[in-house]
């Protein structure tokens, strides 16, 4: 494997996390002058997103990619990390993060735009096995590796993913998990006290 | 705030405020010694610790560039982050997971225990277990280690219940919630563990021992500590006789300062400690300080690790609870019938959701990769901490092709695995897989080796000055008033997570140092 096949933790890791925040999902009417494209979606009633979304519709402003490029990229992110019932808004934040990189770095912009262009025009509408085959063919490219890494860095750090996967996250503000299920597993026997310890409260 | 003058040549300068440097600073200042403590990072607190995993990573991690080479899996999987340690007041004790086991007596006699093994540079420690044990006892009391003294064990988490049941099925006997430097009860003015599962992000309860909120404030209270944050040591200077007399460092604005010193203790984590000695080369010491043996930077050890995840058909919620509070100690033996020398610990582990796909899983994407994360609620986790064998060419060198913010060469970390490493990892991951299979796991996923968090051996203690960098006190063989006070001095790594040993050695070094200062030897 070459050095492009990076699992994840690295210098840009912390930066990617900052781009997972919900305030990137703007109410639809707010456009920026520099907008080059837009990704939009509706919040599905009863979905985890409905609990945390700012409104019934969301939009992501793009400042480097076109709407069509962003739509293709979003399908790419779904192919890399397919979670069928995870809301589009989570994948939109991946695209948003790529767009930010493409906005701030001319070389990255060129690399991303060329990478998207090289995927066949039918990519976004083709069936999953064809999409997987298309990505397999470019797996060793800088474009694919950048998209893969970005997907993993951003997608699973979104509030939508926390809710979807049942991850409860930060616990200090709620008194930890000591009274909230850290030892609530009942399908195995309890550990004898001499090999563990009593709960302090 | 105590200020020590830059020209004060009675000051002891300690570089690095982690397990070794932070403990040493406390021990010296409480004996009345004036100490300048240089720390490259910022100072955080229980209030400022971020609980957003990625943000916390950025807040605490040493992110300055390193390069790497060699055939270890980390070079392939984590090319930009070979090692994962901290740059903050308290050093790596801020993000450590607080496993605090002791080395075993036979581990300190590594060469005698294992015999001659081709391709290694094994030696025995210059000190005995009996000597070290006295300081282990003090360190355990100081740090509030569980299942030692009067500190009860931590309660069993869900993740540990799975580990325990699997281990018992396989016949393991020594299985418990670990010797953890985490308060199971309020102790030493700090609260008890509320099972947050955010050990790596900085413990907002302060239940986990860290020099940030134990040794360092106590040292400050003596009035003898001058802690200088965001101060990066770039060079150690010596006089015409070869004696150390100053440290040059840069503050956050890049401004250079020279602090005079009576003696210097380097505790910058094994990568930066070796780098600083090498960067301090002079006409008198052309290969770097304390390097007449050519051993500085060599024998780099990182301990063998590797994840195993079990996916069950019922929930585990492994993220709830102290991250590493569980251990199987039966494999901490030297039994050549297993096909390798040295021992390993099986340790409980889990990763928060954002970190799991980046660090815990083998490279992948698509349906199969995603299906593992789909099962996040039902995932149980373990990894190992095993002994790797020192090799002369596994080493830290200066990479002149890549420079840091101050224009100095960065450290290159070279690791070629010894066949012993692979054999141990295979055995351990096999045992862990069997544990989960015995408990009815639907699937077992064997993960990669994460970036190294235990960096050891690059200025090792040795009886023979030709085989190491320091004597049994961490005093360099070449220069009497230059000491090494971190994991760099570990002669061999053993299978114990190293922090307790680093603290014990710092306690012992402080005793020696103050006595040597008193009689005027240094």
Residue A7 has its nearest CB partner, among B53, B196, B448, at B448
Min distance B61 CA to chain A CA atoms (Å): 10
Amino acid A29: pLDDT: 52
User: Which residue, B201, B191, B198, B205, is CA-closest to B144?
Assistant: B191
Min distance B273 CA to chain A CA atoms (Å): 22
Q: How far apart are CA B261 and CA A5, in angstroms?
A: 46
Please say whether the beta carbons of B68 and B74 come within 8 A. Answer: yes
For residue A120, pLDDT over 90 is answered with: no
Q: How far apart are CA B234 and CA B436, in angstroms?
A: 48
Q: Are B314 and A132 inside 8 Å of each other by CB?
A: no
pLDDT digits (tens, 9 = 90+) for A42-83: 877 777 667 666 667 888 889 999 999 999 999 999 999 999
pLDDT digits (tens, 9 = 90+) for A95-104: 999 999 999 9
A85 C-beta neighbours (distance < 10 Å), count: 9
Q: Are A161 and B353 inside 8 Å of each other by CB?
A: yes
Amino acid A20: pLDDT: 54
Q: Does A23 touch chain B (CB under 8 A)?
A: no
Q: What is the three-state SS of B50-114?
A: CCCHHHHHHHHECCCCCEEECCCHHHHHCCCCCECCECECCHHHCCCCCECCCCCHHHHHHHHHH
Amino acid A27: pLDDT: 55
Taking only the tens of pLDDT, chain B with its 522 residues reads 899 999 999 999 999 999 999 999 999 999 999 999 999 999 999 999 999 999 999 999 999 999 999 999 999 889 889 999 999 999 999 999 999 999 999 999 999 999 999 999 999 999 999 999 999 999 999 999 999 999 999 999 999 999 999 999 999 999 999 999 999 999 999 999 999 999 999 999 999 999 999 999 999 999 999 999 999 999 999 999 999 999 999 999 999 999 999 999 999 999 999 999 999 999 999 999 999 999 999 999 999 999 999 999 999 999 999 999 999 999 999 999 999 999 999 999 999 999 999 999 999 999 999 999 999 999 999 999 999 999 999 999 999 999 999 999 999 999 999 999 999 999 999 999 999 999 999 999 999 999 999 999 999 999 999 999 999 999 999 999 999 999 999 999 999 999 999 999 999 999 999 999 999 999
Q: How far apart are CA A26 and CA B58, in angstroms?
A: 26
Residue A7 has its nearest CB partner, among B59, B78, B376, at B78
Please say whether the beta carbons of B378 and B316 come within 8 A. Answer: yes
Q: Which H/E stretch holds residue B3?
A: none
Residue B460's alpha-carbon distances to B2, B280, B500, in angstroms, are: 33, 18, 17
Q: Are B365 and A81 inside 8 Å of each other by CB?
A: yes
Q: How far apart are CA B77 and CA B455, in angstroms?
A: 18
Residue A153 has its nearest CB partner, among B65, B158, B358, at B358
Residue B80 has its nearest CB partner, among A6, A162, A190, at A6
Q: Does A199 touch chain B (CB under 8 A)?
A: yes
Please say whether the beta carbons of B343 and B331 come within 8 A. Answer: yes
Show Cβ contacts of residue B132 under 8 Å, excluding neighbours closer than 6 positions: B103, B108, B501, B504, B505, B508
Min distance A160 CA to chain B CA atoms (Å): 12
pLDDT digits (tens, 9 = 90+) for A72-111: 999 999 999 999 999 899 999 999 999 999 999 999 999 9
Q: Are A172 and B369 inside 8 Å of each other by CB?
A: no
Amino acid B421: pLDDT: 97
Please say whether the beta carbons of B18 and B269 come within 8 A. Answer: yes
Min distance A83 CA to chain B CA atoms (Å): 7
The pTM assigned to this predicted structure is 0.95
**In B, which residues are within 8 Å of A84 by CB distance?**
none
């Amino acid at each position: 494997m070459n050095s492009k096949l990076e699992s994840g933790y690295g210098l840009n890791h912390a930066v990617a996390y900052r781009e997972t925040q919900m305030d990137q999902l703007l109410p639809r009417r707010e456009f920026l002058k520099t907008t080059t494209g837009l990704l939009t979606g509706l919040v599905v009633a009863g979905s985890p997103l409905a609990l945390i979304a700012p409104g019934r519709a969301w939009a992501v402003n793009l400042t480097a990619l076109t709407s069509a490029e962003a739509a293709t990229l979003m399908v790419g992110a779904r192919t890399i990390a397919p979670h069928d019932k995870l809301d589009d808004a989570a994948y939109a934040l991946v695209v948003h993060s790529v767009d930010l990189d493409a906005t701030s770095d001319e070389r990255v912009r060129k690399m991303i735009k060329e990478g998207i262009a090289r995927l066949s025009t039918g990519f976004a509408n083709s069936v999953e096995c064809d999409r997987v085959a298309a990505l397999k063919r470019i797996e060793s490219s800088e474009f694919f590796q950048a998209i893969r890494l970005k997907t993993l860095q951003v997608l699973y750090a979104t509030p939508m993913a926390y809710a979807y996967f049942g991850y409860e996250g930060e616990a200090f503000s709620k008194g930890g998990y000591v009274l909230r299920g850290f030892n609530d597993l009942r399908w195995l026997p309890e550990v004898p006290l001499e090999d563990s310890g009593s709960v302090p409260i | 705030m105590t200020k020590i003058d830059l020209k004060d040549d009675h000051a002891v300068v300690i570089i690095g405020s982690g397990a070794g440097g932070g403990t040493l600073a406390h021990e010296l200042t409480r004996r009345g010694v004036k100490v300048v403590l240089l720390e490259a990072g910022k100072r955080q607190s229980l209030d400022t610790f971020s609980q957003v995993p990625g943000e916390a990573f950025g807040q605490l991690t040493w992110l300055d560039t390193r390069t790497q080479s060699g055939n270890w899996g980390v070079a392939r999987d984590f090319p930009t982050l070979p090692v994962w340690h901290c740059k903050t007041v308290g050093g790596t004790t801020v993000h450590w997971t607080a496993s605090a086991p002791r080395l075993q007596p036979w581990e300190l006699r590594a060469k005698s225990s294992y015999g001659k093994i081709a391709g290694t540079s094994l030696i025995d420690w210059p000190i005995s277990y009996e000597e070290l044990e006295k300081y282990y006892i003090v360190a355990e009391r100081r740090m509030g280690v569980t299942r030692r003294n009067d500190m009860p064990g931590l309660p069993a988490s869900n993740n540990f219940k799975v580990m325990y049941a699997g281990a018992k099925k396989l016949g393991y006997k020594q299985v418990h919630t670990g010797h953890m430097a985490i308060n199971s009860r309020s102790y030493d003015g700090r609260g008890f563990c509320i099972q947050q599962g955010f050990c790596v992000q900085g413990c907002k309860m302060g239940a986990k021992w860290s020099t940030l909120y134990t040794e360092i404030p106590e040292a400050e209270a003596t009035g003898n500590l001058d802690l200088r944050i965001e101060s990066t040591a770039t060079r150690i200077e010596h006089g015409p006789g070869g004696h150390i007399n100053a440290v040059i460092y840069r503050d956050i604005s890049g401004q250079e300062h020279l602090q005079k010193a009576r003696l210097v203790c380097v505790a910058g984590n094994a990568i930066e400690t070796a780098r600083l000695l090498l960067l301090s080369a002079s006409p008198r010491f052309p290969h770097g300080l304390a390097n007449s043996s050519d051993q500085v930077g060599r024998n780099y050890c990182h301990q063998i690790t590797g994840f195993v995840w079990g996916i069950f058909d019922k929930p585990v919620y492994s993220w709830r609870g102290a991250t590493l509070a569980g251990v199987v100690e039966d494999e901490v033996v030297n039994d050549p019938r297993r096909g390798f020398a040295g021992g390993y610990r099986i340790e409980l582990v889990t990763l928060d959701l954002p970190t799991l796909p980046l660090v815990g899983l083998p490279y992948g994407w698509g349906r199969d990769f995603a299906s593992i994360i789909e099962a996040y609620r039902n995932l149980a986790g373990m990894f190992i901490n095993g002994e790797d064998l020192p090799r002369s060419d596994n080493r830290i060198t200066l990479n002149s092709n890549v420079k840091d913010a101050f224009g100095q060469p960065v450290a290159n970390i070279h690791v070629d695995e010894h066949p012993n490493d692979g054999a141990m990892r295979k055995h351990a991951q096999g045992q862990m897989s069997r544990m989960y299979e015995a408990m009815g796991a639907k699937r077992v996923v064997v993960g990669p080796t994460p970036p190294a968090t235990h960096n050891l051996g690059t200025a090792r203690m040795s009886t023979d000055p030709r085989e190491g960098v320091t004597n049994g006190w961490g005093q360099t063989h070449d220069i009497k008033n230059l000491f090494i006070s971190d994991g760099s001095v570990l002669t061999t790594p053993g299978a114990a997570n190293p922090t307790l040993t680093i603290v014990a050695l710092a306690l012992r070094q402080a005793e020696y140092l103050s006595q040597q200062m008193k009689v005027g030897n240094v």
